Amino acid sequence: MGLAVWCEDEAGPFQTVPHPGGSWRPEGRPATQSHEYVRAGTAKILTLFHPATGRVSLRPATSGTNTVLHGWLKEVLGQIVAALPARAAPLDPAANRALWQAWQDGLAVRFSLPADLPPLRILLVWDNLAGHKTPEMVLWLCRHGIMPLYTPLGGSWLNMAESIQRILKRRALDGQHPSSPAEIGAWFEQTARAWNRQPTPFVWNGKRRRRRRRPDDGHPIGGSAAHTQRPLSHYRKSRHECRTTCQTTH
């Protein structure tokens, strides 16, 4: 229907403890873990994912309150809406309202749509949390042409956001021992920037499609009904590991 689908989820909290996983180490100097556990705080990762392109936007935070999450979402979604191409022709107001209402058909609980509705441009899939249903946030989304869809409606799409979170977490933290929540957030941001330089689109891979697919038709993504056209590496050297390797070769 020409609508962009974005999925929002929060990952974490991630602790400042050694994270299991392989790592590059100098020969004869295996990785060791500290015998002390220092509670230095935790980090949460706010994630906005676009399956059609594979692009991900994230924000590290020490908490996921409505003030933090909604403020970040308004900033990012506002930029996304502004970057969308203009519609070829304006819709009739009645047809436009019918397009919005179609996404509420069959729901037991619906929210009231504002009287003045802009063209519908984006579907936002996120959790069915009370904080996501505040009138102020819902009205802001509607004013910007964004229809919120709450799980279990669209839950399979939200699973894709959880899949990308697992991929980024594995690449950012496996084999590492962060010393602070800020360091965890910085590693996630670096990993997301590297991912976005060559993002991998996620393609719907539900039961009906799986019955028609060929053996070589894509690679499944763990934790969601999606697949990619090329395999994803399960491990990628981090900044710390590359630095250690370079020091041992010079």
Q: Tell whether 98 is covered by a domain.
A: no
**129 vs 32, 133, 173, 180, CA distance in Å?**
41, 7, 28, 29
In a domain, 103, yes or no: no
pLDDT band at 240 (very low <50, low <70, confident <90, very high): very low
- CATH for 49: 3.30.420.10
Q: What pLDDT, on a 0 to 100 scale, did the predictor assign at position 243?
A: 40
* CA dihedral over 187, 190, 194, 200, signed as positive or negative: positive
3-state secondary structure of 48: strand
Whether residue 24 is contained in a domain is answered as: no
Number of domains, the chain:
1
Identify the band that residue 235 occupies on the pLDDT scale cut at 50, 70 and 90: very low
pTM of the model: 0.77
Residue 44's domain comprises 4-14+40-80+111-248
Residue 229 domain flag: yes
Where residue 246 falls among pLDDT bands split at 50, 70, 90?
very low
Q: Establish if 27 belongs to a structural domain.
A: no
Answer whether residue 30 is part of any domain. Answer: no
With respect to residue 29, please indicate whether it lies within any of the assigned structural domains: no
Q: Does residue 150 belong to any structural domain of this protein? A: yes
